[in-house]
Amino acid sequence: MARIFSGIQPTGIATLGNYLGAIRNWVALQQGEDECIFCLVDLHALTVWQEPAALREQTRQMAALLLACGIAPERSILFHQSAVSAHARLAWIFNCVARMGWLKRMTQFKDKAGKNQEEVSTGLFVYPNLMAADIHAYHATRVPVGDDQLQHLELANDIAEKFNHDFGVAFFPRIEPLVLKESARVMSLRDGTKKMSKSDPSDQSRINLTDTADVIAQKIRKAKTDPAPLPEHVHDLEGRPEARNLVGIYAAITGKTPHEVLRHFAGSGFGPFKAQLAEALIAHIEPIGQRAREYLADPTGLDHILRDGARRAEAIASPIVAEAERLVGLLPGV
């Protein structure tokens, strides 16, 4: 049995992109043999400014959405990162293992900091060290992520290798990324060349998992398209990013291939296609929002689930991190 670890930042509301690109795969993974640990990475969220009240609310909301999507606390461990101190303890050790040059090469930091490198928090710079700690604190070896996180996983392997080498041990195992398939990438409803994102300023660009039926229908009706009818072949979607995206979403949500979708809709305008797409999305997404609202209506129950997850996570991570602390020469804690 291997151990799977993944994380999601509790900022904003999870979108259809998060669902099709990540959460749905997590739900599938927990049906397998491996032990699954899913973490709301609130410490990572702090690397950029968060309103304290909003962060608290969004952490609960993300927990509710993950549960509503089918993450089952009796099968998987679901918890918030800050509840298990092992993450921050190991991250500090990794801050002292990773080299400045390694972190300076991280494209996500360069993208996020942009021209503002002197002004962003130091946490944003060492973000990948904390992510490495998240995984290695559990000796997790399988990590489902989007392809934008691959560089961070390579860094996590480099850190583990240097730690093992420096201290003459074989303590941290290699991580194997489980990269989600290209087909699961959902693009913005306003611009088919941009990823659908929970941080996009335009709410019209995305379907939130909490959107009601009316809102979903309206967003799909207004989604950007082009004037041509739907083509017969998938390769004819080249150069039509919006059409390609909507066909991809319809395929992903109905479990069909884009080829099958086009066989059905070839020659049709977007009007009838969008009506069916909206119907399929509503059937899938609206119950998730509904279930999430039920979880949120019982904050005590929700906090209980997270605390129970944190206890189980702590029981795995604490001894591993205590051993890492011993290996580097720290005296035992109390």
Q: Write the interaction track for ligand AMP spanning residues 10-29; mark x where CB under 6 A is met and - where it is not.
A: -------xx-xxx-------
> Which of ligand TRP, ligand AMP, none does residue 320 bind to, with CB < 5 to 8 Å depending on kind?
none
Residues in the chain: 334
**What is the nearest approach in angstroms of ligand AMP to the Cβ of residue 78?**
15
Q: Write the interaction track for ligand AMP spanning residues 158-187; mark x where CB under 6 A is met and - where it is not.
A: --------------------------xxx-
Q: What are phi and psi for residue 233, nearest 5 degrees?
A: -115, 150
Number of H helices, E strands in the chain: 14, 5
Q: Write the interaction track for ligand TRP spanning residues 115-144; mark x where CB under 6 A is met and - where it is not.
A: ----------------x--xx-------x-
**231: region left, alpha or beta (phi > 0 left; psi from -120 to 50 alpha):** beta
Using CB under 6 A, pick the residue from 27, 36, 37, 41 that binds ligand TRP: 41
**What is the nearest approach in angstroms of ligand TRP to the Cβ of residue 131?**
4
Note whether 12 binds ligand TRP by CB under 6 A. Answer: no
Element (H, E) at 38: strand 35-40
Q: Which is nearer to ligand AMP, 97 or 196 (CB)?
A: 196
Structure token digits, residue 68: 């509503």
Note whether 145 binds ligand AMP by CB under 6 A. Answer: yes
Using CB under 6 A, pick the residue from 18, 61, 149, 208 that binds ligand TRP: 149
Structure token digits, residue 241: 């990013």
d(CA 92, CA 118): 22
Using CB under 6 A, pick the residue from 3, 5, 8, 177 that binds ligand AMP: 8
CB 83 within 8 A of CB 305: no
Element (H, E) at 151: helix 150-167
Token look-up 């689930």 returns 305
How many residues belong to the site for ligand TRP (CB under 6 A)? 12
> Which of ligand AMP, ligand TRP, none does residue 41 bind to, with CB < 5 to 8 Å depending on kind?
ligand TRP
Largest CA distance in the chain: 71
HSE value, Cβ hemisphere, 13 Å, CA-based, for 271: 1
Q: Which residues bind ligand TRP (CB under 6 A)?
A: 5-7, 9, 41, 44, 131, 134-135, 143, 145, 149
